[in-house]
Chain A
Amino acid sequence: MESVRLILIADDEPYIVRALSFVLAKAGYSVVTAGDGAEALERITSDRPALAFLDLMMPKLDGYEVCRRVKSDPALSDTYIIILTAKGQRADKACGMALGADEYITKPFSPTAIVKQVQRVMGA
């Protein structure tokens, strides 16, 4: 059963994780984190967050692979995936969307804008 207010943040940069966790917690959401792609997949499977932020360049499994696996698994495919990355080329974006990601945001981002986005998607 999906937890409506649970959000996953997967990124190997600890400060990014810290910044996002802080603002999302302030907005009232529960947050779980992952430092690499394998851990991210585990978390999605076991904790069933409603929304997941995935960085692309992570060790073990990269963001593309996690996205692909989640979206092709019928049990997990309704997880809202936002790809969050410094790779901003059109080709990268197209690749991400082709794999089924719901949104694609490039770094650097504004944390407040992210929160607004999340609220829009999940309902405050």
Chain B
Amino acid sequence: MAGGTGAAITMGMLCIGVLLRVLWRLPIPLTVFGAGLVLLAGDVWLSRMPPQAAPADLGRFNFFHYLLDALIVTFVVQQLGGDWIGAFFYLFVILHANISLRRAYSAIVTAVCVVAFVFSVLMAYHGLAPTRLLPGRQPLSSDPSYVAVIILVVGIGAMVLFSITFGTFAATLRARTDELGEANLQLEQAAERLRGHRDELEQEVDRRTRDLRTALSHLRSTHEELRRLDELKTNFLANVSHELRTPLTSIRSFAEILLQFPDEESANQEEFLQIIAAEADRLARLIDDVLDISKIESGHMDWHFSSVDLTSLLSFCVRSMAPLAAAKGLDLRLDLSCDLPLARADRDRIAQVLNNLLGNALKFTERGQVTVGAAASDAEVRIYVADTGPGIPEAEREHVFEKFHQVSDGLTTKPRGTGLGLAICAEIIASHGGRIWVDSTPGAGSIFHFTLPVEQRDSRVLPARRRSRQKLVLIADSDHAARALHHAALEQAGYAVKEAANGREALRLAASLAPDLVCVDVLPADMSGLAVLRALRSGTDTRRIPVIMVSVMEDKEWALQLGVVRHLVKPLAGAELVAAVEETLAAREREAAGDASADMTSRPAGGG
């Protein structure tokens, strides 16, 4: 430490002085040592000065320090008669004082001191400064020389001035440096915080970008889906148009021919009239089929689900087809090993499926037999229609249920079917939640199978469930993740929940389970949410069930006009859905209670 160095030098000075007095008997007065001790004390005190002191304090401190030094030096030099030894001590004092300050300006002060020292020596040598120590020279006077005093004062004054100025300057510099250091620290902290904010913002931007990308890809796939559906619809219309015009052409042509050739032979006339009649029938059947399939696909079909006795239905269908079989010489039989369980189905539509399959079998089989049979398991019943006809080639088997597909059977002289029969069967079975498929061996025959779900016993507990507290909510959404999320939220809130992954399943479950509320997404994969909604509103079993619609579009008016009770916007939090469900059901209960009390008040007082 600088103060420590100064203290060391002062000590050194004292030692040298002691040596001079003791060894060479120079008359250095004891007061010099006393002054030296005081200087030492001053140095020690300086060394304890805290470095962080305010610039003003430091300057003041330095000032008093050096003032003290100056006084002591003056005293010392005076004692020594202002001679070169005094100057020597004087120089040392200055030097040590400088060491405790910054080296930068100590050079200047040292230079001043060197000059002062040189002047002192010169003055002493020329007798201007009185000395008791130089041999042979008498002091001019016993008073210290005024020149020496002036030099002393100037030197000390300069030194004091410098020390104050530069001391203050140094202190200020130090303080400013500290301030800058402090400010720099704060700036760095601020920069650090900014970096933190920037990182957070970047993460947020990343998150938003990811969300946007996901939304964009959803939109893209929805767009693609819509485009595909539109294309299918256009193709369907083109096909229907073609199919309708064909019988129409025959009817018109032959009518015109009959008019133009009234004298044509009667055999021909009869033939032409029969053709007209047959083609008119064909046109009528085609129109029925087109309407059927359009209704099912767009959700306008009015399903009437009930518990169907399959055994009696199968017997009935087989009996009604018996004359046709007999006319062709075919063997038609019903193969039931046991009684079948009840199925949850629309009786008329299943009859339609059976008649279609039986009709095809009888039409395409020339000889042999047609067999109708069934097998049952816990969950479903499988019904099959087997024939010994020409069979269906492997390549065609996957297309057989497509619209307007006609099996190329080589029987071009016979009037063909509408091409929609199997497609309609497929739609009906799908709407029941079953499967339909065909096995075939070309040359040996074909077997058409379809399944129907067995009526579950617990669905008969419906009225009891109504009386109990738990409400059933049906969720229809093609997005598996969203379904799971809402399912969990509703179950946690105490509701029983059933899920449907597509429109058809939703309608089937709505009809058979009679839930208390249905929640529909706008675009399940096979039918639009709109179609499902219309179907629910038109079905006799499902008309009164409240529907909540969830969509990405914000246009509520349109949805409410279609009859939804609430319209919620995606993305939908589980809590939001639960709240909407509770509100809706509560409102319904109030309505029902209101109706009930109205009923009660209208009853005669004696009770009904």
Contact = CB atoms under 8 A, between A and B. Distances in A.
B250 A13 contact: yes
Given A16-B250, A16-B253, A87-B238, A108 B245 contact: yes
Nearest to B414: A14
Contacts of A88: 241
A57 B268 CA distance: 28
Contacts of A16: 246, 249-250, 253
A14 B413 contact: yes
Interface residues on B, range: 20 to 34
Contact of A110 (B251, B256, B275, B408): B256
B412 interface: yes
A43 to B, nearest CB: 16
Given A15-B279, A59-B408, A108 B413 contact: no
A19 B254 contact: yes
Contact of A22 (B238, B241, B248, B257): B257
A26 interface: yes
A111 B412 contact: no
A86 B246 contact: yes
Nearest to A15: B250
Given A15-B275, A35-B412, A109 B260 contact: no
Contacts of B408: 59
B253 A19 contact: yes
Contacts of A57: 242
B242 A87 contact: yes
A109 B255 CA distance: 12
Interface in A13-37: 13-16, 18-20, 22-23, 26, 35
A69 interface: no
B253 A111 contact: yes
B578 to A, nearest CB: 52
Contacts of B246: 13, 16, 86, 107
Instruction: Give the interface SS of chain A, mostly helix, strand, loop or mixed.
Output: loop
Nearest to A85: B242
Contacts of B261: 26
Given A14-B413, A18-B275, A86-B245, A111 B250 contact: no
Interface centre among B246, B248, B251 (most CB of A within 10 A): B246
Interface centre among B248, B257, B275, B279 (most CB of A within 10 A): B257
Contacts of A18: 275
B257 A111 contact: yes
Interface in B245-303: 245-246, 248-254, 256-257, 260-261, 268, 275, 279
Nearest to A55: B246
Contacts of A26: 261
A26 B260 CA distance: 11
A15 B276 CA distance: 10
A22 B268 CA distance: 10
Contacts of B279: 15
Interface string B52-68: 00000000000000000
Contacts of B242: 57, 86-87
Interface residues on A, range: 20 to 34
A12 interface: yes
Interface string A66-108: 0000000000000000000011110000000000000000011
Contacts of B249: 13, 16, 19, 86, 107-109
Contact of B250 (A19, A87, A89): A19
A117 interface: no
A108 B255 CA distance: 12
Contacts of B254: 15, 19
A112 B260 CA distance: 8
B257 A19 contact: yes
Nearest to B260: A112
B248 A108 contact: yes
Nearest to B275: A15
A87 B279 CA distance: 19
Contacts of B238: 87, 89
A13 B413 CA distance: 9
A19 B245 CA distance: 15
Contacts of B252: 108-110
Contacts of A112: 256, 260
A37 to B, nearest CB: 13
A15 B255 CA distance: 12
Contact of B257 (A13, A23, A89): A23
A107 B249 CA distance: 6
Interface of B: 238, 241-242, 245-246, 248-254, 256-257, 260-261, 268, 275, 279, 408, 412-413
Interface of A: 12-16, 18-20, 22-23, 26, 35, 57, 59, 86-89, 107-112
Given A23-B260, A111-B257, 4 more contacts: A12-B412, A16-B250, A20-B253, A111-B256
Q: Give 3 closest A-B pairs by Cβ, nearest first.
A: A19-B253, A86-B245, A15-B250
